[in-house]
Structure 1
Amino acid sequence: MAVAGIDEAGRGPVIGPLIVSGVSFEAEKLSELVRMGVKDSKKLSNKRREELFHEIVRVCTDYLVIKVEPWEIDRVIGRGLKLNKFEARLFSEIINNLKPKQVIIDLVDVNERRFRREVEKYLVYVPENILMEHKADEKYPIVSAASVIAKVIREREMDKIRREYGDIGSGYPSDPKTIEFLRRWYSERGEFPPIVRRSWKTLKRIRGLELGGGFSLFGRDLQQDRS
């Protein structure tokens, strides 16, 4: 029986892509993940994530990665679609392609029933069991494996951006380096680079600061709506 885990990386940053990944294993091989020491990607070093990435993709039954560029996120937000609903569609696409008997999802919505309805709405292939939990990447090795894949791909994409644009920080709105990079870029050019999510309110705050506004640039970006 194939069991899949689904997770994402890069939901909140103002810079770089959103990565959604799914990975499947035969149930009798799930113990391999424990043996490898797979756990939530946030608790692993970059080096260890890279090592585990290669091990996971070598022994898994199948895996799939979806990369969503900043301009694609902006287009979705511009059409009035909430980020949670968009992610539900992406998770459905992972399920439709991997076709697992059971799937475990790291829940991004505070409302499990609402998110489940959105995922199931777009399913062509319906697993026998769909489990959705908050912090599933900490509880289930199969979801931890998906989180490792997503995080590694996201970091590789960010490394490409850094090679072209220099020190951009982590890409998160709470990172002073990221804010300084964006503020300086906008101040010198009057626009933002194509690596940013223009629908994020962080950019509106930076524009306001350059025009003489006095509000804070830091904290959780309000565009990360969980409704």
Structure 2
Amino acid sequence: MAEFEYPQGFELIAGVDEVGRGPLVGAVVTAAVILDPNNPIDGLTDSKKLSEKKREKLAEEIKQKALAWSLGRAEPEEIDALNILQATMLAMQRAIKNLKIQPHFVLIDGNRIPQLAIPAQAVVKGDSLVAEISAASIIAKVSRDHEMEVLDKQYPQYEFAKHKGYPTKVHLAKLAEFGVLPQHRRSFSPVRKLLENE
């Protein structure tokens, strides 16, 4: 990991990241993780740089070794009502609130900070620079991928396990062929256009 200057004087630091801002279906999922300095985890990096197998293994290790971890989410209805940025901020607030130990400081991947009662800092490319954010990105990604696999079993014709809900050619073709599901985000352009044309 590249050098990152941690904020000084804070004991419990949580990392927060989100997965699923781009997909057309399902929740945006966030995770918050407070790592244990006495129980380090090797191989933490941006979840997108890891193979699925490695992510799954690390997710289990994080859950066992972290001082605290939690998930937060915003559902498709909330995304449609608020917009994806505001829904992501809400999901991040929920992840932090769900931690069984409240952190003294929060490091958030990206360039935006949700409204919080505790000090926080946004870190651009934080999932590659900050171990806590990497851990959160792994937990969030594994969790959301599992949700897509469950959805895939309910609606195999959409092939959600393959594209995880992102607007790939396959997903757009299936959407056109089979129509919009309750789990689709209605405010997202490809879905909205289909509904307008019905």
TM-score of the superposition, structure 1-length normalised?
0.73
Residue 183 of structure 1 is aligned with which of 166, 170, 176? 176
1:172 lines up with 2:171 in the alignment: no
Output the aligned Cα RMSD.
2.0
**Where does 1:204-223 land on structure 2 (aligned, <5 Å)?**
204-207=192-195
Distance 1:95 1:179, change over 3 A: same
Deviations for 1:192-213, whole angstroms, at most 9, x for unmatched residues? 11121111111233456x67xx
2: distance between equivalents of 1:194 and 1:151? Answer: 22
1:25 lines up with 2:35 in the alignment: yes
Uncovered stretches (5+) of structure 2, i.e. residues with no partner: 1-10
Bigger radius of gyration among the two: 1
1:193 lines up with 2:181 in the alignment: yes
Shift of 1:49: 0.7
Does the Cα contact within 8 Å between 2:16 and 2:136 map onto a contact in 1?
yes
1:46 lines up with 2:52 in the alignment: yes
Query: What is the DSSP-based 3-state SS (H/G/I as helix, E as strand, rest coil) of the residue aligned with 1:156?
Result: helix
Letter in 2 for 1:200: F
Shift of 1:66: 1.5
Deviations for 1:26-50, whole angstroms, at most 9, x for unmatched residues? 4x337x13xx211110011111111
Identity, in percent, stands at 33
TM-score of the superposition, structure 2-length normalised?
0.83
2: distance between equivalents of 1:94 and 1:135? Answer: 20
1: distance between equivalents of 2:186 and 2:195? Answer: 11
Query: What is the DSSP-based 3-state SS (H/G/I as helix, E as strand, rest coil) of the residue aligned with 1:92?
Result: helix
Equivalent pairs counted in the alignment come to 182
Distance 1:44 1:10, change over 3 A: same
Deviations for 1:94-129, whole angstroms, at most 9, x for unmatched residues? 33443212221001xxxx4xx34xx23xx24x24xx
